[in-house]
Amino acid sequence: MPGFSDGPPGCVKNCNAEPEDKCAKAKKYYSQKGTAKLPNNADYGKFGWESKRTKIENGKSKPKWHGGVDVPGEIGDPVYAVTSGKVFTGTQKDLGTYVQQTSGKGDQEYKTEYAHLSKILVKNGDVECGDLIGYMGRSGNVPDSSPTHVHIQRYLTKKTYKNPEDPTTLIFGK
């Protein structure tokens, strides 16, 4: 699988590449992939999009709100970190196999999550923006009608995932 080199062979880390370089490459990679579309051409990759799929809440059916951005691809496509910070890996019903990354400090501490992975390549610890962290998959809640994608969501740690922030700029750059 392709990854972004940190430098020449024998180089331990960042010998001739600044972290910003691989970070920019990761954002370009995601920009080229764009956002996932449903068969009806609805922009399923869009943050905040209200899906026609519904969920039942308090006995009422309501549109399912999309709290992240879906970048489409094939099972096994690389997933790169879009920010720098400590990661923690896990498995959950909706997110499937996922990586959660903590960045920033205090009131500006964020969690960024990369979901539905087929494989995780990092251990708990520090990850730089642009590092290869895993491969795309269909783990967790990915309906048959949805294309394979990585779901990337972000929220302030103090607010929880129910109050997500739009990660579009973070993922695709400007």
Question: Given the rule CB under 5 A, which residues bind Zn ion?
Answer: 68, 70, 151
Note whether 97 and 110 are within 8 A (CB): no
H-run or E-run covering 118: strand 110-120
- Comparison of 80 and 114: residue with beta carbon closer to Zn ion: 114
What number of other Cβ atoms are within 10 A of residue 91's Cβ? 12
**DSSP 8-state symbol, 95:** T
Output the CA–CA distances (angstroms, integers) from residue 114 to 10, 126, 131, in the order listed: 30, 15, 13
H-run or E-run covering 120: strand 110-120
Nearest distance from C-beta of residue 47 to Zn ion, angstroms: 9
Nearest distance from C-beta of residue 75 to Zn ion, angstroms: 16
Place of tokens 């539905």: 116
Nearest distance from C-beta of residue 68 to Zn ion, angstroms: 5
Q: Is 66 a catalytic residue?
A: no
Nearest distance from C-beta of residue 100 to Zn ion, angstroms: 15
Whole-number Å distance between alpha carbons of 124 and 152: 18
Structure tokens at 132: 């290869």
Shortest-Cβ-distance residue relative to Zn ion: 151
Residue in 46, 75, 62, 170 with CA at minimum distance from that of residue 113: 170
Whole-number Å distance between alpha carbons of 54 and 41: 18
Catalytic entry in 66, 116, 149, 151? 149
| Residues classed as catalytic | 149
